[in-house]
Chains A and B, each alone.
Chain A
């Protein structure tokens, strides 16, 4: 069966798959959204973000954007959105979290490939998601092994830009090589949109992302100062919605949310009780609709106070520090931002991730760390050991949770998460 999958005219298997996707694919997304909405203390201004997720996954619409703007599918945080906006396109993050698409991708990818890539391949196979199908260009940074093969696989079907990410970054040339990659990527974008890279356009785009990141910084600042102001599941929904929203719209929505949170903070209202354990979620990306883990944490009486995942806050956290106000200077800043501070474990040297988590623990007064590992996500699994050791020194409990893209293990996970939260709440030393 596998050999016939790639032939373009729809065969019966594909039709069956599409039917299955129509039946089940949207159901999971709707269920997850319903669960998010059922959580208590949802800020009113969160609704637009959930609407975005709903329109993409449930109603299966394309990303909202001005007329005539093509979309570029991006796969990792290393693809700078500034560059894409500057050249007249809109980036959408396409890393998949759909269980149904995973099921389809499962037949194409090898058994041990990670579910994220399987989901992407599944979406690619069935012709049902306009966000995927309407992309004019795919940008895949070569990060982990699965993404590397995905890049090759996509290249056969779609116009794809493969960005070579250095595996190490202690030498300056590593970063400078990525500047070259960005220039090449920019050429591909220019062929697609007809807009060349000029100072004015890039400066405008950088300002646009800076506005969004300013709001994100406000959001982070609010959460740091009032660690119980908003539930982490909501925050993850905000960050996931970013992937499919035209950036100025997202900035506006987040600005409204910030205003509401600021006023809530003034009234001393909180989304959680004082004794709810504050949990940090880190590890493999948590991508909508795979909100299993954040929802479990929050429904079992924990508070997801912060996350360190690349589809969460981390994905948009680092701002480019533009030192040199020239095209080259800005590209250097973008390249610098994409490589040096990135805590992706695909880099060989990644001690900064531990430091980053330590800082998060301090900022949000974290009491426990849940380490999310997607089955087959080796690079994240590798770093668990190191983190466990470090957390042992700090006296912070850690738990490694391995899941796949299905709902079969939810009950098992529930027991483990519950036990972990109880452990923090009642066992061990109290604050």
Chain B
């Protein structure tokens, strides 16, 4: 039994590796080579393509550039529909058609979003999504030497900052580039990674934003998702290791991670760059579909995220827990898109009232704190300051019938 599992794991790993290596031979959508395609192969090329600006939004060229992404979205929708239908056929345990549903009158209004951590996070995500795609157009390319450690594709030459992923996955190219570039890369990458860590995943990364949007879409549709348990998370963790190996190693053996990376389909297309897609097109379909059924599924296997999580012991944002107030209700674990179980099981620590439960996987989305019903049991600090604390009243208000001001005053 155990042997079988190892065999399957090795086979999957090999398959992924082979797919990644031959990614460039599996075209998803290619543009004819006559036009100037975005390419970062050498510095001269970079300058060349840079003169060819991306097409303006909603121009003909932009629609042409958006073509592959539209196909991806369409494919994803078909996959999601298929999945929902198939699951209904396979087990209809709770999709039994209801004869007549006479509703009890308890009010069906949705609670309005309130100002808080959640809203701030969404605003920052939307802002950074815009800036990382059209930022160059809006604010100029002054910050383009910065290499943010996120999966914002550098093929989009008009984003506000650069992305460190390219040089990281092409370590051989990094060795060949100028000292200046290496310093910029190392400086901005390391400083960002150490200071913010995976906070960038939760707040800045455009690929994460797209997955969150897919998740919200499912919430609106009330479609059943795929809840993961520790066994499935262990599977994802294995996939993450493989992805990391591919990410770091593929450049050295002559492949390119970009042909495999899902991020390439998103940001260049939206900015109007015609980018030929190879295997990454299929990867993006996987990202969208899995992100629909399981929140931030790709983030669990993202190699960039893993690298960002490495300095989690020193980064500024911290997640802490009051072990006495905690009732071990597991709400945080249920809410966590990254499947961090230790957050609710940990009881021992130096200071019982403030145990550091930050792990390498945490993306600081704050979902655990939002779903924590105990006053002050979980809280997030940034540079030593408490920025978000769990509260029973706030928690309850997420679920109650919307009330008028008068009732709220009575507390």
A contacts, CB < 8 Å to B: 85, 88, 170-173, 175-176, 183, 186, 190, 194-201, 203-208, 210-211, 213-214, 217-218, 220-221, 248, 258-259, 262, 318-319, 321-329, 331-333, 336-337, 340-341, 343, 351-352, 355-356, 358-359, 362
Given contacts A217-B393, A355-B347, A359-B324, contact A171 B230 (CB under 8 A): yes
Complex contacts, A318 vs chain B, CB 8 Å: 327, 329, 373
B contacts, CB < 8 Å to A: 93-94, 96-99, 101, 103-104, 106-108, 218-219, 222-225, 227, 229-231, 323-331, 334-335, 341, 344-345, 347, 367, 371-373, 392-393, 395-397, 399-401, 410-411
Contact of B327 with A329 in the complex, beta carbons under 8 Å: no
Contact of B101 with A200 in the complex, beta carbons under 8 Å: yes
Complex contacts, B99 vs chain A, CB 8 Å: 194, 196
Docked complex Cα distance between A183 and B91 (Å):
12
Given contacts A208-B106, A323-B331, contact A218 B411 (CB under 8 A): yes
Complex contacts, A190 vs chain B, CB 8 Å: 96
Q: List 8 other contacts, CB 8 Å, given A201-B101, A326-B218.
A: A173-B229, A200-B108, A208-B104, A211-B400, A214-B397, A221-B393, A341-B328, A356-B327
Contact of A340 with B396 in the complex, beta carbons under 8 Å: no
Instruction: List 20 contacting pairs A-B, 8 Å CB cutoff, sorted by A.
Output: A172-B230, A176-B229, A183-B93, A190-B96, A199-B222, A200-B101, A203-B108, A206-B399, A211-B401, A214-B399, A218-B411, A321-B373, A321-B395, A326-B222, A326-B225, A328-B94, A329-B227, A336-B330, A340-B344, A356-B327
- Counting from the closest, the 10 A-B pairs by CB-CB distance are A321-B331, A341-B329, A210-B399, A172-B229, A340-B330, A341-B327, A321-B371, A214-B396, A196-B98, A204-B106
Distance (whole angstroms) from the CB of A146 to the closest CB of chain B: 26
Closest to B396 in A: A214
Docked complex Cα distance between A369 and B85 (Å):
56
Complex contacts, A321 vs chain B, CB 8 Å: 329, 331, 334-335, 371-373, 395
Q: Is the interface of B mostly helix, strand, loop or mixed?
A: loop
Contact of A201 with B392 in the complex, beta carbons under 8 Å: no
Contact of B106 with A248 in the complex, beta carbons under 8 Å: yes
Docked complex Cα distance between A248 and B400 (Å):
12
Contact of B396 with A323 in the complex, beta carbons under 8 Å: no
Complex contacts, A322 vs chain B, CB 8 Å: 399
Given contacts A214-B396, A328-B94, contact A175 B330 (CB under 8 A): yes
Contact of A332 with B227 in the complex, beta carbons under 8 Å: yes
Docked complex Cα distance between A357 and B264 (Å):
53
Given contacts A217-B393, A321-B329, contact A195 B230 (CB under 8 A): no
Docked complex Cα distance between A322 and B329 (Å):
12
Contact of A204 with B396 in the complex, beta carbons under 8 Å: no
Given contacts A183-B93, A210-B396, A341-B328, contact A198 B334 (CB under 8 A): no
Given contacts A172-B229, A352-B328, contact A326 B223 (CB under 8 A): yes
Contact of A221 with B94 in the complex, beta carbons under 8 Å: no
Distance (whole angstroms) from the CB of A119 to the closest CB of chain B: 29
Contact of A204 with B108 in the complex, beta carbons under 8 Å: yes
Distance (whole angstroms) from the CB of B355 to the closest CB of chain A: 12
Contact of B103 with A332 in the complex, beta carbons under 8 Å: no
Complex contacts, B341 vs chain A, CB 8 Å: 172
Contact of B411 with A221 in the complex, beta carbons under 8 Å: yes
Docked complex Cα distance between A171 and B341 (Å):
10
Docked complex Cα distance between A156 and B354 (Å):
52
Contact of B101 with A195 in the complex, beta carbons under 8 Å: yes
Contact of B103 with A200 in the complex, beta carbons under 8 Å: yes
Complex contacts, B344 vs chain A, CB 8 Å: 340
Given contacts A176-B229, A318-B329, A352-B327, contact A327 B392 (CB under 8 A): no
Complex contacts, A333 vs chain B, CB 8 Å: 331, 334
Docked complex Cα distance between A426 and B261 (Å):
73
Docked complex Cα distance between A194 and B96 (Å):
12
Contact of A197 with B104 in the complex, beta carbons under 8 Å: no
Contact of B334 with A210 in the complex, beta carbons under 8 Å: no
Docked complex Cα distance between A351 and B372 (Å):
19
Contact of B410 with A328 in the complex, beta carbons under 8 Å: no
Complex contacts, A323 vs chain B, CB 8 Å: 331, 334-335, 367, 371
Distance (whole angstroms) from the CB of A353 to the closest CB of chain B: 10
| The one of A88, A194, A207, A259 that contacts B399, using a Cβ cutoff of 8 Å | A207
Complex contacts, A172 vs chain B, CB 8 Å: 229-231, 341
Distance (whole angstroms) from the CB of A212 to the closest CB of chain B: 9
Docked complex Cα distance between A306 and B227 (Å):
37
Distance (whole angstroms) from the CB of B377 to the closest CB of chain A: 9
Contact of B329 with A340 in the complex, beta carbons under 8 Å: yes
Complex contacts, A218 vs chain B, CB 8 Å: 393, 410-411
Contact of B347 with A325 in the complex, beta carbons under 8 Å: no
Complex contacts, B98 vs chain A, CB 8 Å: 195-196, 198
Complex contacts, B397 vs chain A, CB 8 Å: 214
Distance (whole angstroms) from the CB of A407 to the closest CB of chain B: 36
Docked complex Cα distance between A197 and B334 (Å):
22
Contact of A324 with B227 in the complex, beta carbons under 8 Å: yes
Docked complex Cα distance between A301 and B71 (Å):
76
Docked complex Cα distance between A171 and B233 (Å):
13
| The one of B324, B331, B372 that contacts A336, using a Cβ cutoff of 8 Å | B331
Distance (whole angstroms) from the CB of B165 to the closest CB of chain A: 30
Contact of B334 with A204 in the complex, beta carbons under 8 Å: no
Contact of A319 with B399 in the complex, beta carbons under 8 Å: yes
Complex contacts, B222 vs chain A, CB 8 Å: 199, 325-327
Closest to A196 in B: B98
Docked complex Cα distance between A170 and B230 (Å):
11
Complex contacts, B97 vs chain A, CB 8 Å: 196
Closest to B111 in A: A207
Complex contacts, B347 vs chain A, CB 8 Å: 351, 355
Complex contacts, B395 vs chain A, CB 8 Å: 319, 321
Distance (whole angstroms) from the CB of A172 to the closest CB of chain B: 4
| The one of B93, B96, B400 that contacts A207, using a Cβ cutoff of 8 Å | B400
Docked complex Cα distance between A333 and B324 (Å):
22
Closest to B341 in A: A172
Closest to A353 in B: B327
Closest to B233 in A: A172
Docked complex Cα distance between A325 and B392 (Å):
20
Distance (whole angstroms) from the CB of A307 to the closest CB of chain B: 16
Closest to A333 in B: B334
Closest to B96 in A: A196
Closest to B393 in A: A217
Complex contacts, B96 vs chain A, CB 8 Å: 190, 196-197
Distance (whole angstroms) from the CB of A313 to the closest CB of chain B: 13
Complex contacts, B225 vs chain A, CB 8 Å: 324, 326, 328-329
Docked complex Cα distance between A318 and B399 (Å):
13
Contact of B400 with A319 in the complex, beta carbons under 8 Å: no
Docked complex Cα distance between A259 and B406 (Å):
12
Given contacts A319-B399, A328-B224, contact A359 B328 (CB under 8 A): no
